[in-house]
Amino acid sequence: MELRQIDCFLAVAKELHFGKAAKTLSLAQSSISEAIRSLEQEVGGQLLVRTSRRVQLTSLGEKFRLGVEPATLVLRATLDDCRKTVLGQTSRLRIGFLGGGLYELTLPFVRHLRSKFHIDVEWVELSLLDQFEAIAAGKVDAAFCRLPLSHDGLVQCTVLLEEKKKLVVPADHRLSNRDWIDPEELAFETLPTLPDNHNLGAWAAIHFPDHTPSGRPIARGPVVTTIRESLAVVESGEAVVIVGARAELYYSNPRIRFIEVGVPSVGTALVRRRADRRRVIQNLEECARDVATGFVETVEH
């Protein structure tokens, strides 16, 4: 079995179209077809159902995809790491973040990662929708995500921050003079809506709830995909939104108010692909643990 065959299969599995897969890989469509035929012979069963109108994964094909896709990403990343080692280059990780990311821990994290492990960071801002999928698909090596984790192919590592939640309202809102808000008040408000995404079920239920703790429905407002879009619809008076308390330090605006709301605190954790146990990722986890421990000790003293 060759890596080229797996690349061809994964491209078709993603596009569900031989022509588009061939374009993605810069190969002839006949080469794609031949690679998948050879792969099916090795596997011993049909991975794809092809008709004149569409391409579908068989149940065997889906099982094969779920098994080889994470391993292929790790293999390619490992090859890249080894090439850099041979060339004497510093390891460089693409790390995703959402909103304010690690906030005040960003600089200590980067300094510690560089000084102890000789690893540089390329930061990649993620949207509310792709925060988990970007890790799973290999667009980033790992990411700092707001919990809970909502993707089977990923694992949560060190929790670096725990923060209370705040409700963001327009400055002239009926609740703007409160110091604390009962979450049951959300039954009289409108929250932004996220586009449908099966990987965000548990996460969306916490950060963009559709009902209050007692079960009263919360109205749904404009569709948003980023933190900034969420704050924009608050400023325009179309909705209110729940965010982490630290966001107030980074998105302060005289036209909006941040008020503590009585919902559970939420953590921010390092998240990686389940199959990715490269040394560089283990170093990343160790760095996150070191920084988190140092932050806790600083706060306690």
pLDDT score, position 70: 76
| Choice between 190 and 10, residue whose per-residue pLDDT is larger | 190
Length of the chain: 301
Whether 237 contacts 155, CB under 8 Å: no
| DSSP secondary structure letters along 273-287 | ETT---HHHHHHHHH
Tens-place pLDDT, residues 91-134? 789 999 998 888 889 999 999 999 999 899 999 999 999 999 99
User: Which amino acid does the sequence have at 60?
Assistant: L
Cα–Cα separations (whole angstroms), residue 45 to 36, 57, 113, 119, 218: 11, 12, 46, 43, 49
Ordered by where they begin, the domains of the chain are 3-81 (1.10.10.10), 90-162+267-300 (3.40.190.10), 165-264 (3.40.190.10)
Residues 81 and 87: their CA atoms lie apart, in Å, by: 10
pTM for the complete prediction?
Answer: 0.77
pLDDT confidence tier of residue 242, bands split at 50, 70 and 90: very high
- 208 backbone dihedrals φ, ψ, rounded to 5°: -135, 65
Q: Is the peptide bond before 170 cis (omega within 30 degrees of 0)?
A: no
27, pLDDT greater than 50: yes
Whether 230 contacts 237, CB under 8 Å: no
Q: Which of 91, 98, 122, 142 is nearest to 270 (CA)?
A: 142
pLDDT confidence tier of residue 77, bands split at 50, 70 and 90: confident
3-class state of residue 201 by DSSP: helix
295, pLDDT greater than 60: no
pLDDT confidence tier of residue 299, bands split at 50, 70 and 90: very low
pLDDT score, position 101: 86
Tens-place pLDDT, residues 248-293? 988 989 999 999 999 999 999 999 998 888 889 999 999 999 998 8
88, pLDDT greater than 80: no
pLDDT confidence tier of residue 83, bands split at 50, 70 and 90: confident
DSSP-derived secondary structure letter, 182 = -
Whether 254 contacts 50, CB under 8 Å: no
Whether 118 contacts 90, CB under 8 Å: yes
198, pLDDT greater than 70: no
Whether 144 contacts 269, CB under 8 Å: yes
pLDDT score, position 270: 95
pLDDT score, position 67: 83
β strands within 71-153, DSSP E: 91-97, 119-125, 142-146
pLDDT score, position 296: 44
pLDDT score, position 145: 93
Whether 243 contacts 230, CB under 8 Å: yes
pLDDT confidence tier of residue 90, bands split at 50, 70 and 90: low
